[in-house]
A and B are shown apart, each in its own frame.
Chain A
Amino acid sequence: MTLPPGSSSSNSNGNGTQAPAGGSGLLRYPGLDQETRRVCLQESEFDEEQVVRLLLQELHNRGFADSFALLQRESGYTLENEPIAQLRRSILGGDWPAVEEALLAIGLGTQDNANDALFIVKRQHFLELLEARKLKQALLVLQNELSTLTADTQHLHRLSSLLMCPSTEDLRAAAAWDGSAGRSRLLVLEALQAHIPPGKMVPIRRMETLFGQAIARQCEVCRNHVRPASRDLYVDHACSGPVFPQELQVTLSGHTDEVWYVAFSPDGRHLASGSRDKTCIVWSMADHSVVHRLCGHSGEVSYLAWSPDGRYIVSASNDKTLRLWDAETGEHLQTFRGHDETVSSCRWLGDSDRFISGGLDHKIIIWSTNGTIVKQISAPRVHDMVASADCKLLLVADDKSDIHAYDLTTLTFLYNLEESAEVMSLALSADSRYCIAELRDGELHMWDLAARTRMRAFSGHTQGQFVIRCTFAGIDDRLVATGSEDGMVYVWNRATGRLLAQLKGHTKTINVCAWSTPAAALATAADDKTIRIWPAYRGAPSDCSAPGHSRTTQVAAAAATPAASDAEDDAESMVSANNSLDFVI
């Protein structure tokens, strides 16, 4: 909205010097006649009350008490009327009868809605009574009040089982509740918000939420999004400069046969590669020299994994064994025998003491680094495995077209994701929420593991009988990169599915892509016996002032985005916005 000249000074000063100037009408557009004022107001598409109340909320959150009071007086709008303020006070103070009164005064519409809201309040009351060890009163609340408010008997059973908790610690753990002194009352307030008309109670940090959504949207329509958005509210976010990572930095030659696997060390300072020549090489990312050559496998090396502390490398081979190497000295520490067929994948389990391997022999084995088997299960023939960052979930691609999810702590089967073709390899995003399955029919499918739904397909590259290992790449895993049998690296925008780049350099089939955020680079390895490093563009976090990148190009980009993906991405950004649990108003 264009502010008339003169008004900005009173805004930015904010010291209230102009407050006594008179009635509210004069203050809003000082120095303007009635007609100009009317035009200015018409320019805004948004309801004045809503805008002012958002401003009030923001002023309140930022502690501008005087301006808050002044704006309330000046505009005639209040952030919250008395019942809402009463509700907030009594919830935070734990005065449950007063909460009930306040809810009645606010008016919650339908009976169901009112019951749901009351249930939230009563549940908190019940838990707090339990916490205070007032079991008799708690039981009364459960029997007389909670039970009348819901038909969900299972929930009631769960609540009644809490009566058995011997201590408050047990209670908190069993109810996933952090006690009256914790954030639980704020959570109650937040939960109630869904049942109170937003016109009466402005959702918490509404303006920040809107800003966050705006920036998230700008990132989505940013055509070549490679760098994180700054929190700049003055200009739209737009990445400029070269498309990630266009330039080939260096070619690593040292293997005498096809390179089948590469993996960056956790700190990004080293790269390990496994080859058909039966060796692994540890490379320095600083000068791109060979640090160690790990020889010993009698079969081709098709998989590698760095321990989380970067001290060890475990390699999996077609010789049916795994070998543990000291990454610093290059020394061979241990050989792990237990698989009866090719070991197809291995992953570390968080603590650098144990790792897990899967083979084509229907076995998944958890090993201790001292060489013993910790646990072993029979499973489908394993094509590839990925473990979530918290080491709770294991995804296993079998030799058919299914992805099996296991609880990694107990190695019990959880669920199945059905794919449309044979799954050649898997990749997991850093937040462990999204998984990519690379399929034999030449498509990459991205799954949302939280919703267990297939979100998007990426295609364009050539894939037939050979395993190509893809990766999430770029800032916040916003890109998807994979190799191709045509010797090019394909890079897509994860959010839109748009092909951003085809990187030329390799001369034969590319077998694997690996991304490292600390190294800010993509590594690719191919049948041409080389590994190539493609650095991400490094510069300012976000450059919005690039010539030619104006608002209009942003709008055009938005219009060009496919509608279907928009809907999903909106949902995604909404979720991330809601995840920020902040307990200001």
Chain B
Amino acid sequence: MGYMHQVFLGGKGVFACRECRTHVALRAQIESRQYTGQCGRAILFADVVNVRAGKEEERSMTTGVHIVRDIFCMKCNKYVGWTYIKAYEPDQKFKEGKFILERELIYDAARDWGVY
């Protein structure tokens, strides 16, 4: 994938990798919380940082068939979610280029403090 400079996010509402606390997204980038992933609730983000994408694959989801790539924390290589490359259904096109992070796999400093 190549070498990436780790990005550090500032301000409130930083989501991090639950495993290694590498920053992955900002609350301001949240588009929707109404998603479900392999580990339960998931969040749709307009943009994320410090992730590496895996191979493209076609996946059947509740909203139709999509081409997606799983995304992994660049630091610890743990799976954190996926990104939409292509949506076949016209009403799902808006998801292309956006990212799903699984709520159970990321750390929200504001809510998860003291829990883990």
Contacts and interface: CB of A to CB of B under 8 A. Distances in A.
Q: Are these two chains actual partners, yes or no?
A: yes
Binding site of A, secondary structure by majority: helix, strand, loop or mixed? loop
B2 to A, nearest CB: 3
A58 interface: no
A486 to B, nearest CB: 12
Interface residues of B, number: 9
B5 A360 contact: yes
Interface in B1-53: 1-8
B6 A465 contact: no
Nearest to B53: A465
Contact of B2 (A341, A383, A527): A527
B95 interface: no
B75 interface: yes
A379 to B, nearest CB: 14
B7 A399 contact: yes
Interface string A331-360: 000000000011010000000000000001
Contacts of A381: 8
Nearest to A510: B2
Contacts of B8: 360, 381, 399
Contact of A511 (B2, B6, B75): B2
Which of B1, B5, B6, B7 is packed against the most chain A CB atoms within 10 Å?
A: B5
B1 A258 contact: yes
A485 B75 contact: no
Contacts of A465: 2, 4
Say which size band chain A's interface belongs to. 20 to 34
Interface string A384-424: 00000000000000010000000000000000000000001
Interface in A274-333: 276, 300, 302, 318
A318 B2 CA distance: 14
A260 interface: yes
Contacts of B75: 318
Contacts of A276: 3
Contacts of B2: 258, 260, 465-468, 485, 509, 511, 527
A82 B47 CA distance: 78
A467 B7 contact: no
Contact of A509 (B1, B5, B6): B1
B98 to A, nearest CB: 16
Contacts of B3: 258, 260-261, 276, 300, 302, 466-467, 511
Interface in A454-503: 465-468, 485
B49 to A, nearest CB: 9
B6 A342 contact: yes
A399 B10 CA distance: 13
Contacts of B1: 258, 466, 509, 527
Contacts of A511: 2-3
A344 B3 CA distance: 11
Most A C-beta atoms less than 10 A away, residue of B3, B7, B8, B75? B3
Contacts of A383: 5
A525 to B, nearest CB: 10
Interface of A: 258, 260-261, 276, 300, 302, 318, 341-342, 344, 360, 381, 383, 399, 424, 465-468, 485, 509, 511, 527
Interface of B: 1-8, 75
Given A399-B7, A511-B3, 10 more contacts: A261-B3, A342-B6, A344-B5, A360-B5, A466-B4, A467-B2, A468-B2, A509-B2, A511-B2, A527-B1
